[in-house]
Structure 1
Amino acid sequence: MAGHKQRQWVKPQTPPNSEINVTPLVDVVLVLIIFMVVTPLLEKDILVRVPDTEVEENQPPPDPNDQQLVVLLDKDGGYSINTEKISAADYVTRLTRMLAAKKPDEKVVFFMADDATNYGRLIAALDGAKAAGAKVLGMATELPSNAIIQGTQVDTGTPAPTPAP
């Protein structure tokens, strides 16, 4: 048995380490926390169309009745388009005819609602305008100082100009 070799076992100096290395785990968790905090702050974009601020001084102001459609809602739920009182049944058909005469990029309807108007009626008016073909809907918060509705001057809180003697 001279040619037979015996196997020798080498005993490791340290036992195998079966514990989790926590340092990379902590690094990954911190990076995830940073992304979770920062990501919602990056998604706060709101698309807003802002009108141009250029003013043309030599042109007379356009007649608002020719250019704009203003739907007024009174506290009883009645509709008025510009200065004309319209029944709720005729609202969409009348607005459809008015919008059909306009170019596609001029199909804009503004809404002015009384503070006591039912919110549901305002939403119904907005939906009716969309059904009539309006491309852009706008909310007016104040009437112009020279607004005339149903033949009477509207009090907007600004003093009326005094006639010259």
Structure 2
Amino acid sequence: MVHSQRIEPAPGQESVWDYPRPPRLEDTNKHIQIIFNGVTIADTHSAKRVLETSHPPVYYIPPADIKMEYLRLTAQSSFCEWKGRAGYYTIGVGEKEVQNAGWFYPDPTPAFESMKDYVAFYAHVMDSCYVNDEKAQPQPGNFYGGWVTNDIVGPFKGAPGSWGW
């Protein structure tokens, strides 16, 4: 049973098994930075995070705090039953480019309206992603976009053997 595998959080930590389903959107003033090909493409204290059972937080950054000149809209889209239809960006800095490395919701569902056009990034394709100066690790499996930091405990969806949860 999944909950028997739950890691008990220490003081100052959160368990992803305490996050809700459907997911919750909340503001965070944590310092979020994203570096790609040596350039800081995002730097904010005004991110939002989506918290969902079994997933580390996904950070969404306001476009005003992103160097949008490095992002190019693609034809890729996907659908989330909670947030709606997502659009994607290719990120290019210098000679380095990664397709569909960031995503956003141009017309989110009412519960997620406040994150309209905010952009989330896959950590595994960036040079580094930081939460309060701690380098975040990508959510296991590279399918989901959560960021793992020392204040989050799992186990996390996406790790080997977790697909049946």
| TM-score, normalised via structure 1 length | 0.24
- Tell me which protein shows more strand as a share of its residues: 2
| TM-score, normalised via structure 2 length | 0.24
